[in-house]
Structure formats: structure tokens, C-alpha cells
Amino acid sequence: MPLPKPEPGLVISYAYLWRHEHNRGQEEGRKHRPCVIVLAVEKAGSTATRVTVAAVTHTPPAPDTAAVEMPQKVKQHLGLDDARSWIIVNEVNQFDWPGFDLRPLPGQNDTFAYGYIPPRLYETVKATLLETLAQRTMRVIPRD
């Protein structure tokens, strides 16, 4: 199956590298997890697309973490588990699509995306992300 087109709102399976892992010198995330593509920009003069992803986690966000809770109905639509989850938006990974850390969905060898979050949820994620940029609390981990 061909790779999906990287578009904002698409939830992919990805080996996300947290900032604390990056700061310890790790180069690969220890766990494959759902991540929401929050930005996809075609690079000028190239066929490459620069992608920015936000991780989905079960860990409740710390008070200084910007996050948006993923509604159960959305998780169900995407085929995710029933545990509460948050999209962390003040820390992101960036890479040229498809990168080295895109992973097949659990139990599937040729599918890399769960589907899309609803437009309203994406707009909430985007607005929260833009707030973190304005407050200069965004942390970007380059993955190339």
C-alpha cells in the first residue's frame, strides 16, 4: 500500500522522540505512538514535504504542558484504545516525509495512518499550538 499524503489532521504511527529523550542523546523514540500531523509544508525547489507532528499520549499533561484532550468518540473512530489521551502541542518533531521513523500500524505491515481527526479538533490543536509559539514555549525536535 502506498504511503498516505502528509496532510494536517492525519494521525500516523510514528517513533516519536520526546525532548527529554533527545536531551539525553537518544536518536530514536522508544515507542511507536499515534501522532497528529499539525503542519505539512512543501519545500521550495524540492519534491520533499516538511512535516511537523504532535504526539498522542496517555500520560496526563503536566501543568506547564500545552495539550488538547482527544475525545473518546475520535479515538474510537481512529481505532485507538479507550484510555484517556492528550495531543501534546508545545513539543513537536519535524522531519522530511516520510522520514525514517514512520511505522506501520500495530498488526499491519502496509498501513501507516489511523485516519483524520475532525476539523474542529484540528482547529483547537492548531490554535493551542499557535499560542505556544506566541508564548515562545514551543520545543521543536528535528528528526533528520
Instruction: Look up the CATH number of the domain holding residue 125.
Output: 2.30.30.110
Give 1's pLDDT tier (boundaries 50, 70, 90).
low
Q: What is the pLDDT of residues 63-105, one digit of tens each?
A: 999 999 999 999 999 999 999 999 999 999 999 999 999 999 9
What's the rounded mean pLDDT across residues 122-142? 97
Torsion of CA 59, 13, 54, 42, to 10 degrees: 180
> Which residues constitute the domain of residue 81?
10-142
Domain assignment present for residue 3? The answer is no
- 52: closest CA among 104, 3, 87? 87
Q: How many domains does the chain have?
A: 1
Does residue 81 belong to any structural domain of this protein? Answer: yes
* Residue 43 maps to a domain: yes
Structural domain contains residue 76: yes
**Alpha-carbon dihedral sign for residues 133, 49, 34, 15:** negative
pTM: 0.95
Q: Is residue 21 in some structural domain?
A: yes
Determine the Cα–Cα distance for residues 34 and 117; give it in Å rounded to an integer: 11
pLDDT digits (tens, 9 = 90+) for 92-102: 999 999 999 99
Predicted confidence (pLDDT) per residue in 12-43, tens digit: 999 999 999 999 999 989 899 999 999 999 98
- CA dist 123 and 92 (Å) reads 17
